Structure 1
Amino acid sequence: MSRNFQNILLVCLLAVFSFVLYFNSLGNAFVFDDQHTILDNAFIKNFSSLPLFFKGAYTSVPDVPRGMFRPLLLVTFSFNYFFSGIQPLGYHIINIIIHFLNGVLLYLLLRFLKNSLPFGLILFFCLLFIAHPINTEAVTYISCRSDLLVTFFIAAAFIFYAKGRKAVSLFLYICALMTKETALVFGFLAFAYDFIYSRQAESKKKMFIFYLAIIGITASYWIYRGAIFHFGATELFLPAAKSTLRGFWPNIFIQSVISIFYLRLFFWPHPLNLHHEIPDYVSLFHPAVFSAVFAISVMAVLIFVLKKKYPLASFGLAWYFICLIPKFYAPLSFPSMEHHSYLPGLGLYFILGQICEEFYLKSRRRFIYLASVFIGVFTLLTWSRNAEWKDGLSLYTASVRDNPSSSVAYNNLGIQYANMGLSEEAEKAFKKALVLTSSVDVHINCRLNLAKIYLNRKRFKEAMDELDRALIIKPSYSEIYQSYGAIYSQMGQKEKSEELWKKGLSFNPRAVGILDNMGMFCLEKGRLEEAELYFRAAIKYNPDDANAYFGLGQIFEHRLNNAQAIKAYEKSVFLNPAYGFLHYCLGTLYAKKADKRAFWHLKEAIRLSPDLAEAYNNIAIFYASMVPPKIDLAVQHAKKALSLGYSVDKEFLKLLGLPESLKE
């Protein structure tokens, strides 16, 4: 079999296998950070925002910590949004394609680093990489595209560097830096390769120029990043010193434990979870920390011991730990997420290549049997994990099941229950999260969510109590004032609501929920110009705000500008097709211009809102106006409107042959 044929065969197999493996993830919903990264992120929804990506903008959602410089990643999300809006299918397809390409790059890396490796062995490792369930999070969780992309750019940059294409390598390094901060490891990977493989053929002058370029690019990146985020030297180079999450040494300790934990998940991928609960450690002599540090020290020594005789294994160890260095540098809110192992994990396949080569050559048939079993089991595990990522409910149910001590999982599960109208289950989940959490953000989020539940039950005092507790912790949080305003609004104290919402906007002028509420408040008061300003501001900060478009439609109707009202309603119904009254408004306007679409929207209105009396009345009129008229159906819908308390026109009742007494 020629090398070219092998290359084509591998690419085709990996492409087909990747899409078959992740086919059941294509319909998965946006979850977790996808909310602020994609769904609510106005920046990716407008091409005029592209320059902002290079100025440090990541999401338009307030209260998300700043500091992530990932313009290239955001450009890919803008690309997705341009073609598919907020439908997740296109986003999943791009993630799967990048994962497939990374499988191809793994093939090229193994081919280059050890040319003697048999094709069948390399094919197995590439299939294993594609199928490994630890990678499911990186592929299925759309926001993790950053890990997929940075792996692609770093692996490609390394290959070009090793083959002497240094200019291309440096360009790819720059692309990697604009994708995720972990790209900073590239220079260390290049140095490790030169050291382990003792590259004597390369002239010292060329190597010096290359490393000088790496230092220059890296320094420029640090300076630019510090400037756009206004970071001081300590904040830029030693973020743990100012972190409220954990200090420098506790972060070293926990990441040492996690580095070994990832190895365990690689060889035994169970249980897989969105939130692996690993405690913070304050002492080197804690058994878990000491064991992890000892194991890392042994493996660091092995890098030097294996260097001469087993360079591929030596480089694999170096790759794994070098790519984990950024986690030691910066404290993370969720320090042990599985997608963090995606780039480091490539090094483990190098080690396996060194270990398995002899066994493959001596017992090829037995190896193929074992490999088939591994691939089959991993395929089933990945399919199962894809199903758990189907939506928020399935994901957080699995998270709570496998990690019952995670407050984040319980809080997110509560949100899913609340969205489904299961308020009792939601209340229990939020209260459980409050018991477990030590996080200020989770605590406030739970209080706000409990307040919403109590508000829906008209238990105003309990709702207020929850908000009071949240306000003590974070008095400038705009969402607290949004919830206060909603409570006073339901209590009939509209002016008090306006006061509180305006206070919330003073803390966060981009609070879309408050802008919507203020728009509706002004609309009810007849202050149409002011209402329009609020709705347009909401759309500016969230172009997918269905409520704001509905509000604009109402304003245009008041002004008798039906053409503009229809446009606004059409946009709103596209973004939120499940709102019955919106279909009624749009159907009514279509009916006024004798547009056949009126009938469908009015029928949809009563399907979604079976008690919407005015919709039944308008459908009755529609049936009576047909040529020939459908009187029976008109009578049926008119009676339904009357039964729901709607005052049907007397003349229309006469036309239908119905007695006026029915109105009573």
Structure 2
Amino acid sequence: MRFRLKELFKSNIAVYLVFVIFTLICYGNILPNKLFYDDEELIYKNAYIADLHYLPKYFTQNMVAGAGKTSNMYRPVLLISLAFDHFIWGLNPVGYHLTSIALHLGNGIMIFLLINMLFGSRILAIVSALFFLIHPVQTEAVTYASGRTDLLYSFFGLICINLFLIYCSNVKKWAPFYLLSVLFFLLSLLSKETAVVLPLAIILCFYVLSQKNKIKILPSQISLSVSWYFLIDIIYIVLRLTVLNFANTLNFYKEANSYSQNIATRFFTFTGVFFEYLKVLLFPKDLIFARNIDIITTAINLSVIIFVILAVITVFYFSITGKKNPVVFFYFFWFFIFLLPSSGIIPINSIIAEHYLYLPSIGFFLFISYLFNFFLRKYNSTYLKFFLVIILLTIISVFSIRTIIRNYDWKDPITFYNKSLTQSPNNIPMRHNLAMAYSEKGEFETAIKEYQYIIAASDVYPNTHHNLGNIYKEQKKYKDAEEEYLKALQIDRNFIFSYYALADLYKLTGETEKLNNVLEILKKYQ
């Protein structure tokens, strides 16, 4: 069967218009939102995106090298997209949010095309894509400017899969489709490391398409078709473990712990994460940026037991009906393929995050669409069909409203951090960010209270005392400032920022002897 792209697009203009309208309704209110949190390092303080002469460094250095930081993230395409925005918009947040909205809309369209191509069902494709576009869980990837990395890798990855399927469905097997697919896979991989699993998704789609068209495929055909994708994966992984290993690529933890050192613990914990993800997909009432999850160290746990039982039932189900129902097969495996990188196989530092669901959630939305379509076709009653449509529209409306409301939580740093701390009050880094936001706004007394709260809760962070010292210095409370800088150095003798701060302070107060002592210490760090 041959796909005529022009006809496909022309016949779906109304669908795309609906997608545009819903996307703008749900995300139009993020345009005035400020940039903050990781946006500081990626955008405001990143010299590399401000000057295109640094373009070669995007491909040889870590993601935040332009801000003078070190990270194990390597995402040159993300930096290119941010540099593009910086070139057009400077540091105006509106431009960055517009790009995120456009990418999210593009992903919705790509999902529509993919599902329509695989299953030949416009209802499945439209409902799945619409849920993807409006579901509140996506806000962490869309509303948060630094979350663009998920948008980018998904956008290029979905184009990659669509082009591959067009190539497979084309009688003449026109090579440019395949070559373009490989190129977009590379762009996806250079947007985010998670794209390493894309070849598995391509195999899944290839299998489903062959089932739909009733084509018998041999293992050799599959391996030949996806060989270039896996070759790129291998080259990428080798490079990330050698010349592009900026920190510890396979372990995000500075110190060993029970989670990072034990793969069984990571699997057990993932079962709890899985059910938390299901909860937020089904009932996205509580959207939490710094979501906490208990570390599970034993198999004797309700989450582990239920997960294993469900896994056994699923395997049994697919052994009987897998080939008969490719939709079920697809949405199940799609969900887990794209969750694989964050499942704990590699001990990443964020065990659970809503943005991890950005691409996997397609499987869940297809499941919801499948149920809706199943009942719509099963019953002939006009009243029942009308009732089902009303339920669907109600869910879409509720989710859209929840998305709009959640976007206001991201309005500015103080609003966001206060909201996050009502949900995770013991999150020290988040409280530290709130204190810094108050300080930058000139609300010093409020900032001091937040820093004092941190010190009372956990006095192990040198930067807490250092930042408190900066406030006292600004208030001309020089003795208090000195005490805080010295306390920072008691916690970490090598916290060089406090030495520099003391040097500036002693210059200001004219304490020459103390200044000379600090300058002597600083010579050791030069």
TM-score, normalised to structure 2, is 0.86
Does structure 1 conserve the Cα–Cα contact (< 8 Å) formed by 2:127 and 2:369?
Answer: no
Deviation at 1:61? 5.8
2:468 partner amino acid: L
Give the distance between the partners of 2:269 and 2:507, measured in 1 at CA: 47
Match of 2:473 in 1: 455
Match of 2:275 in 1: 260
**Aligned residue pair count:** 500
Does structure 2 conserve the Cα–Cα contact (< 8 Å) formed by 1:239 and 1:329?
Answer: no
Compared with structure 1, are the counterparts of its residues 137 and 167 closer, same or farther at alpha carbon in structure 2 (3 Å cutoff)?
Answer: same
What's the secondary structure of 1:228's corresponding residue? Answer: coil
Compared with structure 1, are the counterparts of its residues 423 and 253 closer, same or farther at alpha carbon in structure 2 (3 Å cutoff)?
Answer: farther
Match of 2:172 in 1: none
Q: Who wins on radius of gyration, i.e. which is larger?
A: 1
Deviation at 1:462? 4.2
1:399 equivalenced with 2:404 (yes/no): no
Compared with structure 1, are the counterparts of its residues 390 and 377 closer, same or farther at alpha carbon in structure 2 (3 Å cutoff)?
Answer: same
Please list the CA deviations of residues 294-324 of structure 1 after superposition, one character each: whole Å capped at 9, or x if unmatched.
5556556555555223221221111111111
Please list the CA deviations of residues 161-199 of structure 1 after superposition, one character each: whole Å capped at 9, or x if unmatched.
233243222211111110000001112212334456665
2:509 partner amino acid: M
Please list the CA deviations of residues 508-560 of structure 1 after superposition, one character each: whole Å capped at 9, or x if unmatched.
x8xxxxxxxxxxxxxxxxxxxxxxxxxxxxxxxxxxxxxxxxxxxxxxxxxxx
Deviation at 1:413? 1.6
Deviation at 1:145? 0.6
2:346 partner amino acid: A
Q: Note the 1:53-202 alignment, pairs <5 A.
A: 53-60=58-65, 64-115=69-120, 117=121, 119-120=122-123, 122-163=125-166, 164=168, 165-195=177-207, 200-202=215-217
Compared with structure 1, are the counterparts of its residues 338 and 501 closer, same or farther at alpha carbon in structure 2 (3 Å cutoff)?
Answer: farther
Give the distance between the partners of 1:343 and 1:501, measured in 2 at CA: 52
Does structure 2 conserve the Cα–Cα contact (< 8 Å) formed by 1:406 and 1:436?
Answer: no
Q: 1:321 aligns with which of 326, 332, 336?
A: 336
Match of 1:246 in 2: 260
Match of 1:609 in 2: none
Q: Note the 1:217-616 alignment, pairs <5 A.
A: 217-230=232-245, 236=249, 246-249=260-263, 250-292=265-307, 294-295=309-310, 298-299=313-314, 302=317, 304=319, 306-327=321-342, 328-361=344-377, 362=379, 363-434=384-455, 443-493=461-511, 500=518, 507=525
Structure 1: runs of 5+ lacking an equivalent:
510-664
Match of 1:512 in 2: none
Does structure 2 conserve the Cα–Cα contact (< 8 Å) formed by 1:241 and 1:247?
Answer: no
Compared with structure 1, are the counterparts of its residues 208 and 31 closer, same or farther at alpha carbon in structure 2 (3 Å cutoff)?
Answer: same
Compared with structure 1, are the counterparts of its residues 59 and 13 closer, same or farther at alpha carbon in structure 2 (3 Å cutoff)?
Answer: same
1:153 partner amino acid: F
2:291 partner amino acid: H
1:216 equivalenced with 2:231 (yes/no): yes
Give the distance between the partners of 2:465 and 2:363, measured in 1 at CA: 44
Match of 2:49 in 1: 44
- What RMSD, in angstroms, separates the aligned Cα atoms of the two structures? 3.0
Give the distance between the partners of 2:118 and 2:458, measured in 1 at CA: 47
Deviation at 1:500? 4.5
Compared with structure 1, are the counterparts of its residues 415 and 301 closer, same or farther at alpha carbon in structure 2 (3 Å cutoff)?
Answer: farther
Give the distance between the partners of 2:316 and 2:516, measured in 1 at CA: 66
Deviation at 1:366? 1.6
Does structure 2 conserve the Cα–Cα contact (< 8 Å) formed by 1:161 and 1:169?
Answer: yes
Compared with structure 1, are the counterparts of its residues 305 and 390 closer, same or farther at alpha carbon in structure 2 (3 Å cutoff)?
Answer: farther
1:247 partner amino acid: Q
2:102 partner amino acid: I
Compared with structure 1, are the counterparts of its residues 259 and 61 closer, same or farther at alpha carbon in structure 2 (3 Å cutoff)?
Answer: farther
1:90 partner amino acid: G
2:272 partner amino acid: V
1:394 partner amino acid: T
Compared with structure 1, are the counterparts of its residues 502 and 5 closer, same or farther at alpha carbon in structure 2 (3 Å cutoff)?
Answer: farther
Deviation at 1:504? 6.0
What's the secondary structure of 2:65's corresponding residue? Answer: coil
Deviation at 1:460? 4.1
Bigger shift: residues 457-466 or 307-316: 457-466
2:49 partner amino acid: I
Structure 2: runs of 5+ lacking an equivalent:
1-6, 169-176
Compared with structure 1, are the counterparts of its residues 59 and 303 closer, same or farther at alpha carbon in structure 2 (3 Å cutoff)?
Answer: farther
Match of 1:624 in 2: none
Compared with structure 1, are the counterparts of its residues 473 and 190 closer, same or farther at alpha carbon in structure 2 (3 Å cutoff)?
Answer: farther
What's the secondary structure of 2:331's corresponding residue? Answer: helix
Deviation at 1:71? 0.6
Match of 1:641 in 2: none
Bigger shift: residues 41-50 or 248-257: 248-257
Bigger shift: residues 218-227 or 253-262: 253-262
Compared with structure 1, are the counterparts of its residues 64 and 431 closer, same or farther at alpha carbon in structure 2 (3 Å cutoff)?
Answer: farther
- Percent of aligned positions with the same letter in both sequences? 25
Bigger shift: residues 137-146 or 48-57: 48-57
Compared with structure 1, are the counterparts of its residues 173 and 480 closer, same or farther at alpha carbon in structure 2 (3 Å cutoff)?
Answer: same
1:139 partner amino acid: V
Give the distance between the partners of 1:242 and 1:445, measured in 2 at CA: 19
What's the secondary structure of 2:63's corresponding residue? Answer: coil
Give the distance between the partners of 2:394 and 2:517, measured in 1 at CA: 65
2:131 partner amino acid: L
Does structure 1 conserve the Cα–Cα contact (< 8 Å) formed by 2:74 and 2:192?
Answer: yes
Compared with structure 1, are the counterparts of its residues 207 and 406 closer, same or farther at alpha carbon in structure 2 (3 Å cutoff)?
Answer: same
